[in-house]
Structure 1
């Protein structure tokens, strides 16, 4: 493990020569010209991804970029297992590959949200109707007037519940217990107070799908998105026969200290290191956590956003109606202070939106939409640049030099792909 003077947990990146630990899906990558880019532009973007890896915050990085519907980059750097901070790269070390499945954490929320929009498209629900219309027990603490649209836009009034008062973090893996606790939890200022629903909203939205359709949540995902899009992974939890390829998550970066440690625990309903540890365990992969444990490759996540960018069409099939996508990406919350994340955020009904002059997806990305995952996982589409991109990382670092490199990557991507 490499440590800087401030005690950061960093990956040993050696002499910086990444050729031996880089995977390239050459068969999938189109020529830059086909995507309306120069070779220099693509090289510049990839160099920024390499610079992000060289910060030492991420044992593995996978990245996929589509431009004008063409894959121009689908690559990996580093180790899926055995190359984290403090680990020597012995015989057990396993290189990451472009098709390595990685847990999306909160980037999963976008998929759950779009399933809710799909159910509305099919006539199963009205997004402006109260949650209690579909879940009669969802009335505790004054939540009876909360609408589905408010839950999607993080204005539902129940951003967290007291896991410690229940059975500890393992409660998050018990679907029925979570629904019970969330329904009984007291409401905040529903419809008025913006507060990111890190775990709670996903369970309620998925339970609405389950109640209305009579299907398991994962079966609804499978039939509406996973199969139509031809995905190999792209589901919540992971089958046992697929776990040999999954990437391991690691605590990295600067030590997480008070008050950030407290804020992280409030948002995640568990301690920072505990979340990382749990995410690598079999019982986490056995569970379905609608706000936090969808597994996918970088290309699969980029494929999903390309479908949205293409008006809901994939391979000639209408997966989502254009009107559904228009509502899903429409701003529901102007740039406002988020009382959970402690920063200004801009949301649609289910997605995190870009901001001008600089936001989550880089400079001048006010039309972009997607979602962030713990920590620095990103999936998004930007209609202004005609790109669908995904960045997957396995180091869970809040503070450190990686933030500057991430900002540089997003800036490079935005400028090189501008129309």
Structure 2
């Protein structure tokens, strides 16, 4: 059920209805009226998700939408394993389910950032202090004045580091100590306060701050501050062995990544596009802790996290974060401005990607929305203006293709259907 069309890697669609490859969590979904929506509005959003699947870029999609705290959609489409682009038809396949875990890739950054804000709330760190106050080795090569707040808002001056491909490969990304050494040794950029997305580097520094200050691994701090209080099954960096039979496999999809996009992709990801896809499916990646790139969860868990933020830090009657912490974590750190890594205009807070007006990352007129994007087209966000929180997880990794039009339509539908 896959083919290559005009050089594009895409998933073949089943003829007719998608019902046979659709999973619905009927126990979780409420009557749309309980969330202030009409059945037609919810169906319109789900039709947008189906349109995204029909673009052929994603072997699996899971999607969860909350409105006013109520789940109106928690569904899956496609296959978690098999039926991927260019796979032979005889490959064993397994359907995706609403609770299929996927890797968030860069959408993991939002969770790491919120943990750093939580540590500040507890008095462990000062966000406006220099990183070197807590990591003495982070003092050379022009980075000694960099603050934690600058790292969170992608103004740290070290958006990337070089992997010596003669001695190591993309596996280096799974080596915490080596990555930390490379980052501390890397020189700061000229004009280090310019905005440039820190795709991998910032996460290791923020994760190491938590480890140094608390004396505990990042995963333990996540477990005690977010994962267990929120009642999550997954929602952690890396994936334990018993869960790997359920995780969705990642696939390169869409149009082949060629120059100049291949250069931009390598600059942002540190290694090549297809290398990232390959390593993400290996045990060594799931064994590792990559603070900026390998948190695993379900779409519902991602939506639950953002709903907690939208509810001023409260979940199920329990306070997880103080409102002042969330206000700082979501306030703009800059106006819409050119990002020197991504080569597009972006708006950041101290740790999150912000929406924009008249159109932004989360659709039209989403200036109050906040969340994070993950490789590629994974999205988690909350939009207080529409009283929504959402998680969109996809297993296809595509930069160019018709999926971008379909994604734009879906986000536009959510924006207009969930108003008022």
- State the match for 1:197 in structure 2: 198
Q: Distance in 1 between matches of 2:191 and 2:171?
A: 27
TM-score, structure 2 as length reference: 0.98
Q: Distance in 2 between matches of 1:398 and 1:26?
A: 33
Q: Does 1:260 align with 2:268?
A: no
- State the match for 1:215 in structure 2: 216
* Superposition deviation, residue 7 in structure 1: 1.4
* Superposition deviation, residue 191 in structure 1: 5.5
Query: Residue deviations 1:109-139, cap 9 Å, x none?
Result: 0000000000000000000000000000001
* Superposition deviation, residue 91 in structure 1: 6.8
* Superposition deviation, residue 87 in structure 1: 1.9
Change (3 A) 1:29 1:190: farther
What pairs up with 1:18-417 in 2 under 5 angstroms?
Answer: 18-90=18-90, 92-164=92-164, 167-189=168-190, 192-417=193-418
* Superposition deviation, residue 258 in structure 1: 0.9
Q: Distance in 2 between matches of 1:129 and 1:213?
A: 17
* Superposition deviation, residue 346 in structure 1: 0.3
Number of matched residues?
418
Q: Distance in 2 between matches of 1:66 and 1:343?
A: 29
Contact kept? 1:150, 1:191, Cα under 8 Å:
no
* Superposition deviation, residue 298 in structure 1: 0.1
Runs of 4+ in 1 over 6 A off after TM superposition: none
Structure 1 residues without counterparts, runs of 5 or longer: none
Query: Residue deviations 1:276-301, cap 9 Å, x none?
Result: 00000000000000000000000000
* Superposition deviation, residue 262 in structure 1: 1.2
TM-score, structure 1 as length reference: 0.98
Contact kept? 1:155, 1:190, Cα under 8 Å:
no
Partner-residue secondary structure (3-state), 1:56: coil
- Bigger CA drift: 85-94 or 259-268? 85-94
Partner-residue secondary structure (3-state), 2:10: coil
Partner-residue secondary structure (3-state), 2:3: coil
Contact kept? 1:16, 1:54, Cα under 8 Å:
no
- Bigger CA drift: 156-165 or 390-399? 156-165
Q: Distance in 1 between matches of 2:258 and 2:342?
A: 16
Q: Distance in 1 between matches of 2:37 and 2:191?
A: 46
* Superposition deviation, residue 89 in structure 1: 4.7
* Superposition deviation, residue 168 in structure 1: 2.1
Q: Distance in 2 between matches of 1:272 and 1:57?
A: 15
Query: Residue deviations 1:69-126, cap 9 Å, x none?
Result: 0000000000000110122454720000000000000000000000000000000000
